[in-house]
Chains A and B, each alone.
Chain A
């Protein structure tokens, strides 16, 4: 059974940093791309960042470029989202999602339950 378990969500001050983790199991981790998708309060879903199966290719939505990085440790079956210089508008539930391919396509066949990030003074 595929499982994605996010952790690391917390309350953080504007300008601060936070690292989210997503521990994966139940599939061949090195074969699939992974993404982070968020939902801000009262808003729709928004893709944030993606990483290819090898980790060579990474992608970001414009609003987080230069502030967030995505990485993966294929020896630990874990993907990370490093969030720096956070802003109030980064407040959201962050979901980890597994792509159906080794590259990011927007086709996420499994999702985690999410972890809450709250940016507040």
Chain B
């Protein structure tokens, strides 16, 4: 059981928007940056959002991140079939002295 919680699944239809939540504590999300990754199993994970709400070059602006207190969210607008993947949030945990992954959310585009 991860110290950072994500819903195991989310879904939406093409063109819709979806939000994935990430809930932590004062030792991780509450005091450190949150990062979001997109992962298709067997391939290299991809950084989607860094430092809570920044997008690397090449990531579409359909992806956005936010953070408030000990929670963070990844919003995806205008869903496309290629968005179907696993999404993970990560934050450094001061108590564990290491980064912690959320359990991951499997996004299905119906």
The chain A residues found within 8 Å of chain B, CB to CB, are: 35, 37, 39, 44-47, 50, 59-62, 93, 95, 97, 100, 104-109, 111-114
Q: Which of B13-21, B72-80, B87-95 contacts A (4 or more CB under 8 A)?
A: B87-95
Tell me the residues in window 77-104 of chain B with beta carbons closer than 8 Å to chain A beta carbons.
86, 88, 90-92, 96-104
The distance in angstroms between the C-alpha atoms of A92 and B16, with both chains bound, is 34
Closest to A42 in B: B41
Q: Lowest 10 A-B CB distances belong to which pairs?
A: A106-B99, A44-B104, A111-B44, A106-B90, A107-B35, A47-B99, A59-B98, A45-B101, A106-B92, A107-B50
Q: Which residues of A contact B92 (CB under 8 A)?
A: 104-106
Number of interface residues of B (CB under 8 A): 30
The distance in angstroms between the C-alpha atoms of A39 and B41, with both chains bound, is 9
| Distance between B55 CB and nearest chain A CB, rounded to angstroms | 12
Q: Which residues of A contact B37 (CB under 8 A)?
A: 45, 108
Q: Which of A39, A44, A60, A113 contacts B98 (CB 8 A)?
A: A60
The distance in angstroms between the C-alpha atoms of A35 and B56, with both chains bound, is 19
Known contacts A47-B99, A61-B98; is A95 also within 8 Å of B104 by CB? no
Query: Could you list some 18 contacts between A and B, CB below 8 A?
Result: A44-B2, A44-B101, A44-B103, A44-B104, A45-B45, A45-B104, A47-B90, A47-B99, A47-B100, A95-B45, A97-B45, A100-B50, A105-B35, A106-B91, A106-B92, A107-B90, A108-B47, A111-B45
Say whether B51 faces chain A, with CB atoms less than 8 Å apart: yes
Q: Which of A37, A50, A106, A109 contacts B33 (CB 8 A)?
A: A106
The answer to whether A95 and B32 touch across the interface, beta carbons within 8 angstroms, is no
| Distance between A28 CB and nearest chain B CB, rounded to angstroms | 18
The answer to whether B43 and A50 touch across the interface, beta carbons within 8 angstroms, is no
The answer to whether B98 and A112 touch across the interface, beta carbons within 8 angstroms, is no
Q: Which residues of A contact B103 (CB under 8 A)?
A: 44
The answer to whether B47 and A107 touch across the interface, beta carbons within 8 angstroms, is yes
Q: Which of B86, B99, B101 contacts A104 (CB 8 A)?
A: B99
